[in-house]
Amino acid sequence: MTTSSFLPVEVIGVRVEMPSNQPIVLLREIGGIRYLPIWVGAVEASAIAFAQQGVMPPRPMTHDLLKTVIDELGRPLIKVHLTEIREGVFYAELHFEGGMTISARPSDAVALALRADIPILASMDLIVAVGIEIPDASEDEVEKFREFLDQINPEDFAG
C-alpha cells in the first residue's frame, strides 16, 4: 500500500482503444481536470458497463456474486483505492468496514464499487504518473467521448 494521499474519482465510461482493440475504463478526478485511463480485460469492461447502465443479468455475474457474498458476510465494502502502476500493471485495494484491506485488480475494484455504490479513490501518485489533464476548454472532447459511450453496449466488449 502506498502512503500517498487519495482523491475521489468517478467512472466516465468504458471504450475500446484502437487499433489494439483493448478496452479501457476512463475515470475523472472529481472537481478536477485530470482523467485516469486504465486498460482492462473485455470481461471486466462488460462488467463495468453493465453496472454503469444498471443492467441486471438474469443470473448474477461474478462481480454481482462477489457483492452478494460480501453483503452476506456482514463486513461491508466501504471504498476502493486505485493505488499505483508498476511495470505497466495497475494495482488497487478493497477497503472493508473494520479496517480489512484486500489487494485487487482495478477493474474488479471498479466493478464492485459501482455495484456497491461506494467511493472510488485514486492515489495522487497514480494520477501524477498516468493522469491526463483535459482543461475545461476541451469539454467538447469529453462530450464526444460520452456520445461514443452512449452508442455502445456491454455486448460490444464480449470477446
pLDDT in the model for residue 143:
65
Does 32 reside within a domain?
yes
Number of structural domains, the chain?
1
Does 73 reside within a domain?
yes
Does 23 reside within a domain?
yes
Task: Summarize pLDDT for 113-127 with one digit per residue, the tens.
Answer: 999 999 999 999 999
Q: What is the CATH number of the domain that holds 12?
A: 3.10.690.10
Answer yes or no: are the C-beta atoms of 45 and 157 closer than 8 Å. yes
Does 1 reside within a domain?
no
Residues above pLDDT 90, as percent of the chain: 61
For residue 83, count CB atoms less than 10 angstroms from its CB and return exposed for 0-12, middle for 13-18, buried for 19 or more: buried
pLDDT in the model for residue 18:
77
Answer yes or no: are the C-beta atoms of 93 and 83 closer than 8 Å. yes
Domain with 37 in it: 6-157
Q: Where is pLDDT greater, at 138 or 27?
A: 27
Task: Summarize pLDDT for 57-109 with one digit per residue, the tens.
Answer: 888 889 999 999 999 999 999 999 999 999 989 999 999 999 999 999 999 99
